[in-house]
Structure 1
């Protein structure tokens, strides 16, 4: 995978082609793609091979083409208006394609450097008091050594609410690291000087193949749509369309590949945002 050759322009082209083609199934169209396909000055070699591993993102598109009903999460624009069904489907598809691609790119960057930036809380000199790792319900069991804080007060706030959640008269981040059930779902809060229990002495992850979703996109990740709720099972999925790409400036590779990341965002029609995770 290559930041200079993002997959989304290819998937967008195939989406448009599929909608106007006589093909009932996507596979027939994929088989007809040429060996080399040029889009936006990018030459995609063997485009069918690039599409097949993630062709399931087109499932809803195939249903729409066949005139069948589909159910999507609630996705709204920044004015709070619900997106039309087709626009919502494209935004959701784009998010999934970029997540797939950037997970591979992030892994390639993280693998050789043994960086622990995303696996530890802020150091004692940082302005931040804590580092948050969002968790899905099924990921909580990976961190059984941490207590779970789940109360009416925690569920009414997020980690960044003002005033902050207090426990026994002190801000939550002044307590030992724990898992919190917020209004938006569960998060592991690593306080100053704390580290993920799965981080080993060599700087590697002991559960790398089953690591949380948030850990699969540590430096560069898409915010085509931002999840506002629904990470825990008792809440409906709700999203806001952002059309952004977020890159964590703390990472030395983000600094090194700044130009490529900006190009990637431009080719995907996304606003590129550079942000520090630990200031």
Structure 2
């Protein structure tokens, strides 16, 4: 981890030798004029990841409650197998289908822009991170479910009461871990934002506007350039992404090391 950060820092130093730090962390991306602002891409990454997590997390929680509820055992197994199958679907398949089905629908329905937007990318990205969130929740629920099922039934609790008053408080650490990992998965994805978010370097005003994320920005510049100052600015983007990865790992370690604080 230290070696990777040192690598990114070393290759970004030439950029900071002739470009001030405020020109990198600014809102203006005009590389031919010496402005290498990456804040629009940072904002795009955060907005898209939060939007995808907001869409995916409640659905994932509902799926887990269904799997661990009193529904038919065959249906529970089918649901779990479907979620596990989603983990094996290549990301490009999600993006390819969305380009030809979802984007034209959004363009026609909302009559705003090209359809390549936060909404299009967020909907598909939420499906991409859903299996990760569901499987983490499922593993946590599976650990606590056997010891409470009979107790909850003996107390006359309904399914909703069982989850609200017993399962969720006991699985709070796992629920938080699922959210953190889901967010990290969304921030690190490249292909969905690249194919569906529009890649406009701008500050969006609605979910129907286009954005560019840090990951898609790196992919776009690397594909067309390897010598200019704009290329050097990608190492600053990499440092930001790597720092977010470190933050996610620190939070996960904190969650794992202090269960008593989380469950109080």
Q: TM-score range by the shorter chain?
A: under 0.3
Say which structure is richer in helix: 2
TM-score by length of 1: 0.25
TM-score by length of 2: 0.26
- Structure with bigger gyration radius: 2
Say which structure is richer in strand: 1
Higher relative contact order (CA 8 A, sep 6+): 2
